[in-house]
Structures are given as structure tokens and as C-alpha cells.
Structure 1
């Protein structure tokens, strides 16, 4: 494994081993970076014992933690106020550390949202920001289908996202970065013009080939020992695992699935997850008179979720905006053909060889094409097998931890090239 003799200050508001979302991103990237350089990770002390005990023995000489706590008073008002204030504190912590230690670069990892640019980008050493998201807009055609309050909130968010790149403070901080890494092409399209070619796209998540739970399901698929398979009927099983919120777009999936049932018999949909949209989803299933074809099972332990996905024939992922989705990657690793919208993180993860990528146009046309995509896979077992095999191949060869580590090494090499900073 290539190693670079440099010291990197990595900054993460969220960092926690074994977690998903931002805490998982913080942990996974700092571990991969520590395999290839010396890392001092700046974060809050709330998980101090967990963090320090989880560091692999072989990395304990190369990964240390520098703690910078946030304001509990501000957290009671809003976690966003807490984060903004923490950025100020983290900047001071990093600046003080740089004054008396050799530091070759500062890398702000989490939170990864462009709405709150990283203050540490203005430090005197090379700085990296990302992977950063937040530039993905909810299409207006889909906003119109949402409840009034949600529509107002997401419309306001869209306006904020569009206006942020024009704000002076944002432009000043972003232009100070040595490199900006965007999670999706949409976000890179907003940030790229501000940094003059110093931006690129890289997903924040990667497939963990060492996952014992996932490996168990892969083995069960190979041996035919998955208990969930015996529970299924002869119908083609479509599975969706997602948080039930408006942006996850599961109500759209229910409508598309109803159209698919009208085209061909023998389909069944299982939706795993919970959230504020559950009531509307139940009502829509009743309104469309498809109760016997749809199972809403709520939340399940991760191992049971993977059992359900492994036992299915098609994985439907209707989200409107995503970065690197863990659930999508898990389904692909299990060899499931995907039906998803061709935008946001889905566009970065999936290819036409492994997924039915549906272009977002008008709501009615997108709905029709999504239904047709389900039907095409449901009626063609060879196509399902081909796309499922390629889905597994894409995850294992392009979106794995090893390739993520190689990317981190390349970024560090580029960011610190020619640097020879001494102690102040």
C-alpha cells in the first residue's frame, strides 16, 4: 500500500465507527487516510471513548484525535447554529495546532454540505473540502405533488441552494480551497465555476467488503439458504428500503407500481422503512386498491432488511436527491438490478448496464417510464440477471473501500505536492 510521509489535519463535526450518514463518512475517510498518511482528526469529544478504542492497532501511531467541543446551548436552539459556531472553534483549534506542529494539509470532511462552507479553508496550508453535497435540487414537477408545507420548505431550500454560490462570504471561503470534492455532478456544477477547475466528483460512501452481515447474505444467495425466499410467492418481488420522506419519493413509487400492475400481473412490492410520509403512502395504497400487492413492513433490523433485499428480484430506488446511498450500494452488492431516477447520487453510482435509469422530465411522463422500467425487468429474467451481475461488479470494482483509499492517497499527493512547511 502506498504511504505518503505527510501530516493531515482532518476536520469532522460528525465521526462515529459503524454509523451511517455523516458520522460514518467521517470515520471511514479518516481510517482510509490514516492508512496512507499521518492523520490528526479534529472532532467533538462526545464519542471520545468509542473513537479511540475503535482505531485499529496498526493505525494507532498514525491516527490521533484533537477534540474541539460545540455549544450545548446553541444545540438547544438548532443543530445548524451549533455547527456554525463549532466551525469557528475548529478553525481556532486548527490554527493553534498549525502554529507549533508540522501540518501539510487541512481536510474538512463533515458536515459535507455546501450551504455551510468550511471556515478552515482559509488557513495558511493547502486545504481540501469534501466530499460536499447540497447542490441537488428537488425538481419542480415533483415539488408540486408534495403537501403544501413540505412544498414551501423544499422550495425555500432550492432558492437558498441557488443563491449560496452568489454570496460573498461563500465565494471568498470556497476560492481559498486547494481542492473541492463534490458528491454529485449537480453540486460540482455549482462549485466548479467558483474554484477555476479545482473541483471534481467523488461519492462520500463506499462498499464495505468486510461487512459480516452483508457477506452472510451473499453466502445465503449462493447456497439458496435465505429463509425469506421460502416466504415469497411465485410473483416477481420488488423491494424498496428507504426513509419515508417526501424527498425519498416513495409515494411516486406506489403510483408507478400501480401502473405496472395494470400492465402485467404477478408483481409484489415490499417497502421497508418509516417516516412522516407513512400515512400518505398507506392512503395512496388504499386509494389505488393495491393492498394485496403491497407490504408496508416498517423498520427492521439491518440483517432482516438485507434478507428481504437478497430475496427480492428488483430493487426500486425512487429518491429525488441522494449522495452515495448505503441502501442502494447494498442492493447492488447483493446483485439486484436497480430501477432509479437518472440524477443526483444515483447517476454517479449506477450505469445503464446495471440499472434502469429513468430520466426526470414531467411528473406524468417520468411516472410512466418508471412503471415501464419495472415491467421490463419483471418480464425478462435474463435482463435481471445481467443487470444484477453488473450491479455487483460495479460496486466491488468501482465503489469499494480499496478504491476510496487509493483516491484519498491521490488527493493527498496532489494537495501536498511541493509543500515543505516547518514549525512556526
Structure 2
């Protein structure tokens, strides 16, 4: 049987984003008939063990010794140190496994950050890294939307470049990887500038069959009315305050309403700005909801409005398109790569003034053109149906794995 060592730092079937990605890779590779040995954190064990998993899927839970688990929540630097140490211990355990079993390939999928790397290349078997992002940087012109967090954003960009050069899990890995798969053009350019070879591009986000509605949902709102939706964590880089600057310009259009689902560190700034702009009638905040409940919002709203200022390959965009939602977004990073002119409208990210004007115009355009919304909804649905985990995993296996 073809054996795979899968490095999935985050793996949890009850969550979306990175943990969901790790889980879907594990279950997807096992579904192909491979014997999969997934190395992951102990934190996802409870949810994983609730699932009925194939007999050919094995989980190896890595916990750091000597109280080092506390590093993860100590600070950003502590989290990075924890991750590198975790990768080291995962490789050591995988090395022991390799002494007893013939391993055909090692594949790292999580975290999907190029600068964080992996030690699994040291196993001496064909090694694939990715899909991964990490090459995105928030535009300087939008620094005001980060408020006091901009210094941390600048620091992150500097740390990324340092990690690429000096992280022991990074530079040697790129030299030995059979294939490095990146999730967006920004990361391709970054790695190419560092001399990395064998770079391929593939979205890292996908959806399981179970996420899709039973029947396609095609949006066709009433002319002059538009129900917008934004979902995600209220991180500084997610642009939640940019949302409100756009909605301020649309305040007179009472039938254009934005519903925001999410929570996080920018919540107070977000709620304060709603009051300052007097947007209580046109911006509705629902807070954080369980991942399974998000489908209801995708089903009930017309257009997805996404304003992230730094994102690798935002899964929310594909989730929304699975429910027929056209996407209005910035032509930036992952979302600029995912969305095209048939599935939504991409607006300039040159500076806030231009962005606000173009985002406002895009919303008004769709509010006055139900037929265009319908056409984009059909195209979005068609695109999302091609982004299923089974197809994505099959494509990467067939293109980049050794002959099975």
C-alpha cells in the first residue's frame, strides 16, 4: 500500500480554515486508498476521535515536553518558536515510524505558511510542501485601518523575510522539496526571488461535498435592494473598518444592508465606528456563530462583500460562491486570484479613496442589475463546484506525487 506521512499541524474536523484544511487532506488522501500517517497537535484529538475514520488513516499526536506547550500562547515570538520545535519533534517521531515502514512520500499542508517551513524533508523520501501562502503584505496606504496594530503588521513582514533566510525548517526544505506549491501569485514572487525552484500554483482552499446545498442556489434580488454579507474573524488585517467607510458612503440607500458575522480583537473599534457613522440601520452585527451555521447566512444573502487587506487564499470567498453569492472584493492577494470578472467585481487597492469609491460603485451596480447578479451567481456556483476537496487532492496527487 502507498504510504504517506502528512504533516498537518492544525487538524480539526469541527472547524474551518487551517484546522479544516488539515482534516480534509487527511481524510481525502485516505479515501484514495493510501495508508496515511497524519502528524498533528494534540489539541484536535477530541474532535478527531468523534469521527468514524478509515482503517488506513492513523493520527500521531505531537505534544512538546517540559512545559513547552505554554510557548504557543506566550507571545508571537513564542508561537513561532513553538511551531518550529513542534515540527522538529514531529519529524523525529516520523523518522522512528520510517524505520519500521516503507514511506513513499512526505507532504506538509499545515501551517500553510511558506516562511514557517517543515523538517519532513529530512526523512529522505520524496517531499512536497504546500499549498502555502505567506508572501502577502498589507498595502501601506491602508495602514489607518489597522489602528494601533500597524506596527505589528510591519514587524510581521520583516519577520517573514528573516524566517525565509534563517529558519532552520525553511531554507534547507526549499532546496530539497520535490515540489513547492503556493496558493497565490504574491507567494510565488516571494519564493522565486529567493531562488526557490519547482514552484507550482494551486489554491489551498476547497470544500467538502457536505458543505454544498442540495440544489444550486442562484441569487436574483429585487432591483434597488441588496443584502450584503461579510464573514470572518475581526483581525486587524481583515479590513472590517474599511467595510464601514464604504457603508458610510451608502447610508442614504436604506435598502442596501450589510450583515457582519464574526468577532475578534477589532470588535470595539468596529462597533464604535458604527455608532460614529450612525449606521445602525444599514450595518447589522451578528457576532460569532458556529461554523455549521454559516451556511444559513450564505443561503439567505445576495452578495458577499470581502475587504481583507492581507489574505493568502480566503476560504470564505469559495464558501460564499458555493451558495451562489457573487463577490465584491479588492483586487489584492488571494481574493484577487480567486475572483474573476464572471464571479464578482474586483476593485482597486491603490489607496483607500479609490478603493472606497470603486467598492461603492460595485455595490450600486449590482443593486441596480438583478440580471447581472444572477449571471455572476451562476458563474460563482460553477466555479465553486470545481473547488471540492476530492478534485483538488486528486489533481495534486496525480500531478506531483510519485507514480502510485
1:337 pairs with 319, 326, 331, which one?
Answer: 326
Structure with the greater alpha carbon radius of gyration: 1
Query: Map of 1:120-159 to 2, 5 A cutoff?
Result: 120-148=120-148, 150-159=149-158
Q: CA deviation at 1:303?
A: 5.3
Note closer, same or farther for the CA distance 1:165–1:85 as it changes in structure 2 (3 Å cut). closer
Q: CA deviation at 1:52?
A: 4.9
Q: CA deviation at 1:298?
A: 1.6
The superposition leaves residues 177-226 of structure 1 with CA deviations (integer Å, 9 ceiling, x where unpaired) of 11111122211221234465411122222122223xx526x57x5899xx
CA–CA separation in structure 2 for the residues paired with 1:329 and 1:288 = 31
* TM-score under structure 2 length normalisation: 0.89
Give yes or no for contact 1:72–1:82 (8 Å, CA) kept in 2: no
Match of 1:40 in 2: 37
Give yes or no for contact 2:39–2:59 (8 Å, CA) kept in 1: yes
Match of 1:177 in 2: 177
Q: Kindly indicate whether residue 62 of structure 2 is the aligned counterpart of residue 68 of structure 1.
A: yes
The list of structure 1 runs, each at least 4 consecutive aligned residues, that deviate by more than 6 angstroms after superposition, is: none
CA–CA separation in structure 1 for the residues paired with 2:167 and 2:72 = 24
CA–CA separation in structure 1 for the residues paired with 2:243 and 2:375 = 23
Q: CA deviation at 1:354?
A: 0.5
Match of 2:213 in 1: 215
CA–CA separation in structure 1 for the residues paired with 2:315 and 2:154 = 26
Match of 1:241 in 2: 231
Note closer, same or farther for the CA distance 1:258–1:44 as it changes in structure 2 (3 Å cut). closer
Give yes or no for contact 1:32–1:408 (8 Å, CA) kept in 2: no
Moved more, 353-362 or 163-172: 163-172
Q: CA deviation at 1:370?
A: 1.2
Q: CA deviation at 1:156?
A: 0.6
Note closer, same or farther for the CA distance 1:337–1:48 as it changes in structure 2 (3 Å cut). closer
Give yes or no for contact 1:113–1:133 (8 Å, CA) kept in 2: yes
SS of the residue aligned with 2:24?
helix
Q: Kindly indicate whether residue 393 of structure 2 is the aligned counterpart of residue 405 of structure 1.
A: yes
Match of 1:422 in 2: none
Note closer, same or farther for the CA distance 1:246–1:47 as it changes in structure 2 (3 Å cut). closer
Match of 1:367 in 2: 356
CA–CA separation in structure 2 for the residues paired with 1:19 and 1:176 = 32
* TM-score under structure 1 length normalisation: 0.85
Q: CA deviation at 1:334?
A: 1.0
CA–CA separation in structure 1 for the residues paired with 2:281 and 2:357 = 22
CA–CA separation in structure 2 for the residues paired with 1:91 and 1:133 = 22
Give yes or no for contact 2:116–2:167 (8 Å, CA) kept in 1: no
C-alpha RMSD over aligned residues? 2.7
Alignment size in residue pairs: 396
SS of the residue aligned with 2:250?
helix
Query: Map of 1:71-86 to 2, 5 A cutoff?
Result: 71=65, 73-79=67-73, 80=79, 81-86=81-86
Give yes or no for contact 2:145–2:239 (8 Å, CA) kept in 1: no
The superposition leaves residues 85-136 of structure 1 with CA deviations (integer Å, 9 ceiling, x where unpaired) of 2111111112222233211111122222223211222331111111222221
Q: Kindly indicate whether residue 340 of structure 2 is the aligned counterpart of residue 351 of structure 1.
A: yes
Note closer, same or farther for the CA distance 1:145–1:251 as it changes in structure 2 (3 Å cut). closer
CA–CA separation in structure 2 for the residues paired with 1:50 and 1:12 = 15
CA–CA separation in structure 2 for the residues paired with 1:373 and 1:247 = 22
CA–CA separation in structure 2 for the residues paired with 1:78 and 1:46 = 12
SS of the residue aligned with 1:14?
coil
SS of the residue aligned with 1:54?
coil
Moved more, 122-131 or 46-55: 46-55
Query: Map of 1:5-404 to 2, 5 A cutoff?
Result: 5-36=1-32, 37-48=34-45, 50-52=47-49, 54-56=51-53, 59-60=54-55, 62-71=56-65, 73-79=67-73, 80=79, 81-148=81-148, 150-167=149-166, 169=168, 170-194=170-194, 196-211=196-211, 214-215=212-213, 235-261=225-251, 266-302=255-291, 304-397=293-386, 399-404=387-392
Note closer, same or farther for the CA distance 1:366–1:68 as it changes in structure 2 (3 Å cut). same
Give yes or no for contact 1:44–1:70 (8 Å, CA) kept in 2: no
CA–CA separation in structure 1 for the residues paired with 2:270 and 2:50 = 42
